[in-house]
Structure 1
């Protein structure tokens, strides 16, 4: 392939939702990311919390229209032949800011150029242009094949799998967990026994979360039920009855993005330190959770900052990790959870 060409592909990605340390909620979004020369294009934009217009929770007609737009089968939505590449994950409003680019044909090729951060109808390249990104020239056959593959998939499939089955003895905790998950856009159902659930109903779940009081025999019975139905799900072993912690565990379980295309790839929590590994510069948040002897929840934000790619060791306040405690590491697209080893 000529050096002037970049490769184009697509891959599932996630904007991680969650219950944050300050009590705010962050909405979960599944979307399809653009893979340029083997890496997510979003990673070239440093610490940007955004999703592509190819999100799984938009109506099928709008999703199809977005794909057709990127294929240049419709007029550009913005002045100057510009298209939204990444937008606000909460509202998709241009006023919140969006990454836009000119998309045009050059013979059989497709070219993405003049990337900019845009908040108004007309982009100001001198003020807000991304000088280090693009232009990218894609071979037409590769570009069209990738986008056309989205039109052949069931647009409702990924949304249906964004649902969790909660199994446990503490009904009050499960009810609070289900409410938190629904608030951030993840469906949740509660049951004590899944053995008689019809296979077609089991297929809507992407994960099963067990409370700590569920015995191994009961867990194995649930696993066999899903196996007999031919349904593959992620299983979550609840670490503690702490709602933000359980939400983070479930977010990780629902992550469908290829592991090699995640920003946060490793978390170790031991000896008063957290060790993390990230693949590109981004904002990383570390939060410690624990319960005391009176079962009160304590939450400590122990780190929040921009880190470059590589491995990092971060010291933790001894008060934050006293007793049985857990560390949640979060970037905009990935969440990892680990109990604090002693």
Structure 2
């Protein structure tokens, strides 16, 4: 085994949920990702829509079991001593496919950990010749660093999942009801209110974002902000761009993203004349959807792009006069409108 070490860390990440233009939806998942040599390991696996076993919405006992498996304090869940590193974001079925690896203790006294023989696995046994990830690993981690990072999760028994809720404030009750239903469908809690007056502080602490409708007066916005500040709660504030549910869902998804900006795959989205410019940091699937509201207040939607893009900047032509564009990768979402940076 090579003596060369890799660094090991953990960071918040999400699988971006959303309501798609065709009416389909994908579930929002918060999880803890593995940071290897300063970069999310998931990004090294190219175009993969997956989450680690360290997801925030699983019961604490199961979460603890997953952590102890990575520490080799619990039995491997798969044959040949293999552990799930990333799995399907919609279910836990191996038939959907999972990235697995062997985890060993190495060193004179077994002080270090090694992740090796990465493979895409869809049945009880992994076929390294057919489905092995060539060029990924082996990674040798210093035992102290490795145990310290995972130990923090055991101390807190999982990542913070209590603030995956949004407070919706606006005048158009019918629109807010549709938005709340869409958010709940993808796994984000949502409540509708006229303001935050009289809401107990313990309830305010459960929200991660507040979304304002365009007609909400400034005095109401100020009062809501004051209520959260008085409760010592830091939340993200979203100003709705237009009465378009998929667009508003995307804005809220972005606001709830707790992953470090330096470790996001989708880093830029700018409307520029009759085109949109987007930038990604690693190879991944990108969906671009354009929205506009016509003179009769009807929503017009156009799927601009659905393709796997290489790292770098990409310029894509837009149909007509698009007012808003939503960009999605498996792990993140960005929204842009004319005049936005």
Query: TM-score, normalised to structure 1's length?
Result: 0.96
Structure 1: how far apart are the matches of 2:19 and 2:57? 20
CA distance in 1 between counterparts of 2:81 and 2:32 reads 22
Cross-structure match for 2:337 = 339
Give the corresponding residue for 1:312: 314
**Structure 1 residue 3: deviation in Å?**
6.5
Whether the aligned pair in 2 keeps the contact of 1:271 and 1:341 (CA below 8 Å) is: no
State the shift of 1:341 in Å. 4.3
Which runs of 5 or more structure 2 residues have no equivalent in the other structure?
none
Residue matched to 1:62: 62
In 2: Cα distance, 1:111 partner to 1:74 partner: 16
CA shift for structure 1 position 270: 2.2
- Secondary structure of the equivalent of 1:21? coil
Give 1:228 deviation, angstroms: 0.8
205, 208, 214: which one aligns with 2:207: 205
CA separation in 1, counterparts of 2:230 and 2:339? 36
Secondary structure of the 2:182 match is helix
Q: Which shows bigger deviation, 108-117 or 307-316? A: 307-316
Note the 1:188-199 alignment, pairs <5 A.
Answer: 188-199=190-201
Q: Corresponding residue for 2:325?
A: 327
Give the gaps of 5 or more residues in structure 1: none
What residue is the counterpart of 1:247 in the other structure? 249
- 2:63 touches 2:157 (CA, 8 Å); kept in 1? no
Q: TM-score, normalised by structure 2?
A: 0.96
1:43-62 to 2 correspondence within 5 Å? 43-62=43-62
Q: Does the CA-based 8 Å contact 1:167-1:192 persist in structure 2? A: yes
Q: Summarize deviations over 1:75-115 as a string: whole Å, max 9, x none.
A: 11101110000000001210000000000101211000000
Which residue of 2 is the match for residue 103 of structure 1?
Answer: 103
3-state DSSP of counterpart to 1:222: helix
Instruction: Work out the CA distance in 1 between the residues paired with 2:272 and 2:48.
Output: 30
Q: Which runs of 4+ in 1 moved over 6 A?
A: none
- SS at the partner of 2:258? coil
Instruction: Decide whether aligned partners of structure 1 residues 303 and 202 sit closer, same or farther in structure 2, where only a CA change above 3 A counts.
Output: same
Number of the residue aligned with 1:78 = 78
The separation in 2 between residues aligned to 1:109 and 1:101, in whole angstroms, is 16
Contact 2:64–2:157 (Cα < 8 Å) also in 1: no
Match of 2:258 in 1: 256
**Partners of 2:31 and 2:55 within 8 A in 1:** yes
1:226 to 2:232 alignment: no
Residue in structure 2 matched with residue 142 of structure 1 by the alignment: 145
Is 1:32 aligned to 2:35, yes or no?
no
Q: Does 1:181 align with 2:179?
A: no
Distance 1:235 1:3 in 2: 48
User: Which structure 2 residues correspond to residues 121-136 of structure 1 after superposition, within 5 A?
Assistant: 121-136=124-139
CA distance in 2, matches of 1:206, 1:280: 28
Q: Choose from 237, 248, 251 the match for 1:235.
A: 237
Q: Give the number of equivalent residue pairs.
A: 336
Q: Distance in 1 between matches of 2:156 and 2:195?
A: 32
1:154, distance to aligned residue in structure 2 (A)? 5.1
d(CA) in 1 for partners of 2:66, 2:157: 15
Deviates more, 1:273-282 or 1:13-22: 273-282
Residue in structure 2 matched with residue 161 of structure 1 by the alignment: 163
Does the CA-based 8 Å contact 1:8-1:34 persist in structure 2?
yes
Cα distance between partner residues in 2 of 1:44 and 1:285: 20
**Structure 2 Cα separation of the partners of residues 339 and 217 of structure 1:** 25
Q: Distance in 2 between matches of 1:186 and 1:105?
A: 39
State yes or no: 1:297 paired with 2:302: no
Instruction: State whether residues 15 and 29 of structure 1, in contact with CA within 8 Å, keep that contact through their aligned partners in structure 2.
Output: yes
